[in-house]
């Protein structure tokens, strides 16, 4: 399998789109019913300037839902004052500790409101592989589950041996390249390092897109005496799919390749997990609902019983009706205080 392929999984409370590159997940787009429409990439809305920080050249914007967005006070926005009403477009979605980044469209009037919804998930997918029809059904669900699992993993193997570890921090995304078994053959490490570094750059580009990361990226290359032009050329090709705004710096004397990728979507880990990396109650609830639906697909006549922690049962409650509309009212979801919040059980009755 080569090139890019699209997958569209529709589940209760959440739709997931996957782009694969040569059979490996490259992008994962998660669209939840609970996400405010005004906070989605590409959405346009009317917002009110809540606060101006001239020292930061930044305006904080009141949105109809969710956290305040931020707008750089430059160009036509340089003379905005507190209380001004403007139309904006979301240029970067919120992250765990930061609001959405807005782009000024024009002055406006009236109360904050959505004026144009963001592109649909199908439209966003189509932009990555024009003309291709997304795969749906069970194959799409399996592709989305696999993409989600890889997006939430920190350590990733490299073709031919070795690995890269990807660890986002508040300041940057740190990527460590490890030769692993590549370097375990006598004194050959210095000969194997160049190939490992090139493989790591290719893998890092795909995985950063999959995880939805951006900002400053620092790749700690293995070995010394790096071929700067060859690595820069490889990085330029590998990160070309990230569009305009990518900036690739020279290799530092400490062996670091640094680059900047614009933030766009909410990182997958921010959307699905708590700050400590554990899945949120909503994430577990939606996984449970998909699990019930999968069991219903497998056995069209079974009555299903799902048990989960009370907090997960509560998070699933708004989507019970949607699941019943998809598979019929032949399931029950009950709270089980003995279960930890990251576990659930599904059985046939």
What pLDDT, in 10s, does the model give residues 133-181?
A: 999 999 999 999 999 999 999 999 998 889 999 999 999 999 999 987 6
| pLDDT, average across residues 123-127 | 96
Find the mean pLDDT for residues 277-305.
Answer: 96
In Å, what is the CA distance from 320 to each residue of 273, 281, 288, 337?
Answer: 22, 15, 11, 20
The structure's pTM equals 0.93
pLDDT exceeds cutoff 60 at 1: no
pLDDT at 110 over 80: yes
Bridge partners of 169, per DSSP, are none
Instruction: Report the alpha-carbon distance of residue 129 to residue 19 in Å, rounded.
Output: 8
In this predicted structure, the answer to whether residue 349 has a pLDDT above a threshold of 90 is no
**Strand partners of residue 256:** 220
Report d(CA 215, CA 202) in Å as an integer. Answer: 18
The mean per-residue pLDDT over the stretch 98-121 comes to: 96
Whole-number average pLDDT of the chain? 94
Can you tell me the mean pLDDT for 25-47? Answer: 97
DSSP three-state, residue 58? strand
pLDDT of 97 reads 83
The rounded distance, in Å, linking the Cα atoms of 101 and 61 is 10
Task: Identify the pLDDT of residue 185.
Answer: 56
DSSP 152: T
Domains (ranges, CATH) in the chain? 4-35+120-148 (3.30.420), 45-116 (2.40.50.140), 152-268 (3.40.630), 274-348 (3.40.1260.20)
Mean pLDDT to the nearest integer, 78-104: 95
* 102 touches 58 (CB < 8 A): no
Q: Across residues 251-268, what is the average pLDDT?
A: 95
pLDDT over 60 at 184, yes or no: no
Can you give the pLDDT at residue 188? 64
User: What pLDDT score does 192 carry?
Assistant: 84
Across the range 234-256, mean pLDDT stands at 94
Reply yes or no on whether the pLDDT at 346 is more than 70.
yes
- Provide, rounded to the nearest whole percent, the portion of the chain with pLDDT above 70: 97
Mean pLDDT of 59-75: 96
């Amino acid at each position: 399998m080569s090139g890019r392929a699209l997958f569209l999984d529709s589940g209760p409370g959440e739709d997931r789109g996957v782009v694969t590159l040569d059979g490996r997940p490259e992008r994962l787009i998660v669209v939840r019913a609970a996400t405010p429409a005004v906070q989605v990439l590409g959405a346009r809305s009317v917002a009110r300037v809540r606060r101006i920080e001239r020292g930061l050249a930044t305006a904080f914007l009141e949105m109809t839902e969710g956290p305040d967005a931020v707008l750089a006070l430059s160009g036509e926005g340089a003379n905005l004052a507190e209380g001004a009403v403007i139309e904006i477009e979301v240029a970067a979605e919120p992250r765990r500790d930061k609001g959405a980044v807005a782009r000024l469209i024009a002055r406006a009037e009236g109360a904050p409101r959505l004026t144009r919804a963001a592109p649909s998930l199908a439209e966003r997918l189509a932009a990555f592989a024009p003309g291709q029809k997304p795969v749906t059904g069970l194959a799409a669900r399996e592709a989305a589950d696999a993409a989600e699992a890889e997006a939430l993993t920190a350590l990733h193997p490299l073709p031919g041996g070795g690995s890269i570890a990807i660890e986002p921090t508040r300041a940057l995304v740190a990527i460590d390249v490890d030769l692993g078994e590549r370097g375990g053959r006598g004194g050959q490490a210095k000969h194997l390092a160049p190939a490992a570094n090139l493989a790591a750059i290719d893998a890092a580009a795909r995985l950063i897109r999959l995880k939805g990361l951006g900002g400053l990226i620092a790749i700690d290359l293995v070995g010394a005496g790096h071929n700067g032009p060859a690595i820069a050329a490889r990085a330029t090709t590998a990160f070309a799919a990230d569009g305009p705004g990518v900036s690739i710096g020279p290799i530092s004397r400490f062996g670091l390749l640094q680059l900047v990728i614009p933030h766009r979507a909410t990182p997958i880990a921010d959307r699905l997990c708590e700050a400590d990396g554990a899945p949120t109650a909503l994430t577990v609830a939606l996984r449970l609902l998909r699990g019930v639906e999968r069991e219903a697909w497998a056995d069209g006549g079974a009555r299903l019983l799902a048990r989960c922690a009370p907090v997960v049962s509560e998070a699933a409650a708004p989507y019970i009706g949607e699941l019943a509309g998809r598979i019929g009212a032949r399931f029950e979801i009950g709270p089980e205080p003995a279960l930890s919040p990251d576990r659930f059980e599904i059985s046939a009755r």
